[in-house]
Structure 1
Amino acid sequence: MTATLDRRRHPVRADLAATRYRGEVEAARFVDPQPFRVTAATTPLRRDPRPDCGIDTEALAGEIVDVYETTMEGWAWGQLRTDGYVGWLSSDDIAPLDAAAPVATHLVRALRTFRYPGPDLKLPPLGLLSLGAQVAAGAITETRGLAYARLPDGSFVVARHLVPVGHVEPDWVAVAESLVGTPYLWGGRSSLGLDCSALVQLAAVFGGHALPRDSDMQEAEAGTSLGFREGDPLPQDLRRGDLLFWRGHVGVLSAPDLLTHANGFTMTVSQEPLAAALARIGAKEYGALTAIRRL
């Protein structure tokens, strides 16, 4: 290749690249994408098409993936439209998106919501959807005073668990706080398990902030920098919602002295006094604080 690109963000390989990179990179062939929709509740994206390969991130139900290659072994290589992440995922967890397919109208706002075969909570659920999953909500049916939205596959979810696409909450940090106790999962991006940057990304979208996926991307691009540099004293005007970065880690302030973050120390989303977190992380994990940004 004639350019060095981030494999997490650019669908470019030596043997195959997206057509839009023609003339910018060298590749054996150039391919136009085919759009697919994620049909599983979640599906992992991996660096390599192997089940024993670590998870880079996850795609959530309803998200669109632009697919550039599928293999006989059941893998698809593509790019998530949600945040531009590139990777391999299971072909079993996606379906072609045709022009007549309904577009997503709502996001799941509850931590998790069950899908039912009919508009009745007493029916055995078909599965669940995570916070942040995208759905095309159809007709509303009420059963015993509870409203259900019909999804295109014929299943139903509780309507009040959804918010319209584009919905903005005044306090997105409360979404992050609602995930306290969720297990830590490297590469996870759902309310069943997630990592530090996914916690920030998943919560911030409900504040109208479309953030990149990984902590290094967020440190470079999220919001605006407060001008903090490694070794500086903490600013006196820290406030709720500020993002704190270490090399390989990010957390969000619930208060000027309280950090909320998904972490490998507790193996959960947890809250801890900022001073204690700075001391512990500095001594045993990621070193000194490197940046502070404000959305």
Structure 2
Amino acid sequence: MTDVRPFAPTPMDLALVRRLASRQLLTDTTIALTRGINPLEAALLAMVPMADLGFPTLVMRDGDDGLIGQIRHRVGERSAHIACLAPIPQDSLDYVAWLQLIDGLVHTAGRRGAWTITAEVIEHEHSAFKLLRKAGFVVYARQTIFRRAPGPIRPSVSLERLHVRPANEIDMIRVQALHAALVPSLIQQADPLPEINAGSLVVEVIGEQRLLGYLSVIEGKAGLMVKPYLHPDVYEEAEAILEHAINCWSKAERLPMYFAVRSYQDWLRIPLNLLGLVAGDQQAVFVKHTVARMENGTEPARATLEFGTLVSSAEISIEPLR
């Protein structure tokens, strides 16, 4: 195997990524379900100067074969995501090359400003599960994806004390407070509050402006992904709230809709089942920190890419948080 290096638009790298694209392991559920992942297109877009497009891609070559890995990250964001690995890791293979590639992805994310890097793996994917553990990733949470098939939206049941409406920037402080109250502090490091996008909704008590829910939505050409944050105080109204929310997203008539339910909101399984959504396989949410703790007020060195080889800017190793 060659050293880990960034993808280059050479005939050999183009052929490698194109060949491995059909054998990829998707580890970014949101992008996979809403947009789909085309490794070659994402690798080429990442080459556009100053555009911050696509997915930064690393490759390791072994003759005509090799390994590739991609991350989803926008420069300056604190959280990155491994988008895909290809080919799908197998138990029978030596993990050494894979560990080098994944370490390269972690260092690349850290160099771009990410503090953590995440990967989501279905629990029966035993080889990928073991690989990420060997690479120093830790399971911070588990999640189940519920799917609603495209189809007519049925009329929603009335809500007496609650109001479901589009979120706006004025709601941000209350949404942050709700997120802090619902998401365990350990998981908050790896589960940052989603931005208020077009289509996101809040649930508030009528007449009190007390926020009891936030539903973040990401829309794509292939589907919609919803991350619900509902306070237990709305347990009895959860089914009606979710039904109201689905009514607000007209694209649900022609696109599949997915709800990502983390283990700390497991009680949402009941209302989602009552609405006819189907649960998929449980996933483990793996997280690794990209930098060491700050000591003596000094920011740790970040990895840099130099002549296709990963090196540290201070010639020291970068350790994950313990």
TM-score by length of 2: 0.21
Higher RCO (CA-CA < 8 Å; seq separation 6+): 2
User: If each structure's strand is expressed as a fraction of its own residues, which one has the higher value?
Assistant: 1
User: If each structure's helix is expressed as a fraction of its own residues, which one has the higher value?
Assistant: 2
TM-score by length of 1: 0.22
